[in-house]
A and B are shown apart, each in its own frame.
Chain A
């Protein structure tokens, strides 16, 4: 398990070798073509006009301000998770625990809300985000510790910790933090209006969320591309033995990458609580962490592509919400398209590897 081959990072050497436009565009085109073919097949099998479905999937999120703001509010936590995963993928880790880190962040964000509801909102929000980052980082560090000292693969530790985190959220929602009256799976009591992240007019768009996500992306981009820390992180991910020989403290970098990813996922959790659901619900992540993993897998931890891919994925998801009303089909076709894109990207990479030997 430990020595699993990771070929996530771009391979500049090979690209330069072949050079033509076809060589650079071959893989993305192959992935896109394959994914569209599969999705079209699925759409046809359920008797829907693929063109209409694609129109809604692709442009639906931009059709009305309400939908657009929904898209942004999904893209923001997604971007945070994918950005965090850029760190862990750079360090050669599969942080499948991102869902749990997000959930724990959400739980931690609830702490100041419950303890000091009297504080001025701005201070309270800062406190929430700080707690959320700390909570997520702590959860990630637990996985890192299991990996580094007990040798438990971060994949399985992450999976287990995901269940623990969702168990914790469930416990809090149904137990100590239950609504007055009766416990309900639908979540804790709604936050008072004044504690919701401020929105643009009547829209659900809270500008703070995308701003924070963009800031995080810029920071991570800068850290990974410009700082020696980021270079060391990539060195560890590419070749841990050689990085160690060159004086890189590999174990510390792994722990830091995990903590960084956990902190960002935790902040995504805070956004879910403060800006999206305005309460803690059992399924607080609603799959954002998993979607973030798909984004990170597709862009191979290249920060340049995180933003566009996260926005495209978020707009698929939001656009697809109209499908049941407009065409009478399930909205999950967005997930099919997203998954197929990554699957065919993997296929394309594998095939090109085989061709170039």
Chain B
């Protein structure tokens, strides 16, 4: 079945996730859909599979316009989607998952379901036991079961969102063989991935999204890797010396922040700036964090054997696509998660047994990406937040209000001291989050510190972070923005499927190099 979208639009708040997309996926082929984080791949797939409703435009299956009021309607039309975290029922057995809410016409009885399950599994080379409880299966097997279920329910178009995250190499091989076979039988496969090598290996065509728009349409494979990276991340990859807006921004910022502004003056964003400069030498002090042989796991992603040391006054950027393991490291660094093996020292001391509060007492702050759900309390005001941070038993309302006013002035937060936090804009919330970090803090771990912020707000945030670093604070931040990573990091760690690259020092950083590593290209072989 052929899938086509015309002038498809979908916005979340002010963000245009899909901006007037028009494209076509031919039947009987495997189509790769590429793009960096937030490019709009998942939104497009969810629109086609009926999980989201478009704001405008149309979706056509075999030329007929489809009005999808839900995923059920899409599946009846023949489109099924396998999510990165399969939307299945862990409390059920494999067979029950297959039968649950399956159309009666597709699977007549329990016995028929059992037969269909083993038959499809055999045909596709999958290993799923009908009576196995789902909780005992691996992510790979659950994914296989979802594929079987969708096919059993009559899907002729299969959408797979980052299917190779968290599955074994053997399972990947089995998956690819099955997908080829399905395509050869006339089905359409949409393969969403950021792993260039896999796309190159599997797909017949590829399309590339960037910032909600289509930048590469139906390119027949093979396409040179360099060209794909260029499409995904923009022209900067091809012309690393061209100073974009990002670099200009950095230059301006550096001089403002009182730091040597020797980057960008000659048009090269090579950013040797802070490295080796006297300032850096002075502030780079003792290790704030030391990790030795740390392994940890969250869901399907596992970090293995990470050893690193982060000194006071250093800024470490964490690069990688969503679900590659950066949040695990951030959570380890802030005591929100305990390592399975290895140990973590903070300021040279093991805070063994202590949770996030012990880390906080040791001067470690966590700035989550989800400011309203994890960072601050939406219904409380800035004054109340400062009151929470006081030490006395009684709230000193005046002092709290003074602190709030000072923060509002210092951080240019657009709010009154009594405005509830949730009434602030994203940029102001992020500034408030930063203003709440105590002055004597030793290490800050932030997740996407400038996500969703406009350029001016992002600059303001970084100005504050750089001040903190000058005061001797170590900063670790995860970001999806390559320009940001390059502009501010002393070194960058790239995450790929739970693996961590060797630290890339400032001098080695370039958009091209990062883009390759993020896509898994040249990733240490093991």
Contact = CB atoms under 8 A, between A and B. Distances in A.
Contacts of B377: 235, 238-239, 242-243, 246
B394 A227 contact: yes
Nearest to A243: B377
Contact of B388 (A9, A13, A235, A241): A235
Interface string A223-239: 00011110110110011
A248 B384 CA distance: 13
B379 A11 contact: yes
Counting chain A CB atoms within 10 Å of each CB, the highest count among B380, B384, B394, B422 belongs to: B380
A151 interface: no
Contacts of B379: 9, 11-13, 238
A120 interface: no
A354 interface: no
Nearest to A225: B395
Interface in B345-396: 356-357, 360-361, 366, 368, 373-380, 384-385, 387-390, 392-395
Counting chain B CB atoms within 10 Å of each CB, the highest count among A226, A228, A232 belongs to: A228
B423 interface: yes
Given A12-B379, A13-B423, A228-B392, A247 B373 contact: no
Contacts of A9: 379
A231 B378 contact: no
A244 B355 CA distance: 10
A324 interface: no
How many B residues touch the partner, as a band?
20 to 34
A249 interface: yes
Interface in A1-32: 9, 11-13
A227 B393 contact: yes
Interface in B197-224: none
Nearest to A230: B395
Contacts of A245: 356, 360, 366, 368, 374-375
B120 interface: no
B394 A239 contact: no
A194 B378 CA distance: 54
B257 interface: no
A239 B373 contact: yes
B420 A231 contact: no
Contacts of A246: 376-377, 385, 388-389, 436
Interface string B386-420: 01111011110000000000000000000000011
Contacts of B375: 242, 245
Nearest to A236: B377
Nearest to B397: A226
B380 to A, nearest CB: 7
A238 B388 CA distance: 13
A231 B422 CA distance: 17
Given A239-B373, A247-B357, A13 B420 contact: yes
A241 B395 contact: no
Given A234-B380, A238-B377, A247-B389, A12 B420 contact: yes
Contacts of A238: 377-380
Contacts of A228: 387-388, 390, 392-395
Counting chain B CB atoms within 10 Å of each CB, the highest count among A227, A235, A245, A247 belongs to: A245
A226 B376 contact: no
Contacts of B368: 245
A247 B364 CA distance: 11
Interface in A210-265: 226-229, 231-232, 234-235, 238-239, 241-249
B395 A231 contact: yes
Contacts of B436: 246
A233 to B, nearest CB: 11
Nearest to B367: A245
Contacts of A11: 379
Nearest to A228: B395
Given A12-B420, A227-B393, A229-B393, A249 B388 contact: no
B388 A231 contact: yes
B139 to A, nearest CB: 24
A192 to B, nearest CB: 43
Contacts of B422: 13
Contacts of A234: 380
Nearest to B392: A228
A242 B376 contact: yes
Contacts of A229: 393
A246 B420 CA distance: 16
Contacts of A244: 356-357
Contacts of A249: 357
Nearest to B368: A245
Counting chain A CB atoms within 10 Å of each CB, the highest count among B360, B366, B379, B385 belongs to: B379
Given A227-B395, A242-B375, A232 B366 contact: no
A217 B356 CA distance: 34
A9 B422 CA distance: 15
A234 B381 CA distance: 12
B308 to A, nearest CB: 24
Interface in B436-450: 436
A227 B360 CA distance: 22
A241 B373 CA distance: 7
A262 B323 CA distance: 45
A252 to B, nearest CB: 10
Nearest to B387: A231
Contacts of A13: 379, 419-420, 422-423
Contact of B384 (A226, A231, A247): A231
22 contacts: A11-B379, A13-B419, A13-B422, A13-B423, A226-B394, A227-B393, A227-B394, A228-B392, A228-B394, A228-B395, A231-B388, A235-B377, A235-B388, A238-B377, A239-B373, A239-B376, A241-B374, A245-B366, A245-B374, A245-B375, A246-B377, A247-B360
Given A242-B375, A243-B388, 20 more contacts: A11-B379, A13-B379, A13-B420, A227-B393, A228-B390, A229-B393, A231-B384, A231-B388, A234-B380, A235-B377, A235-B388, A238-B379, A239-B377, A241-B373, A242-B373, A242-B374, A245-B368, A246-B377, A246-B388, A247-B357
- The 3 A-B pairs of least Cβ separation, nearest first, read A13-B420, A239-B377, A238-B377
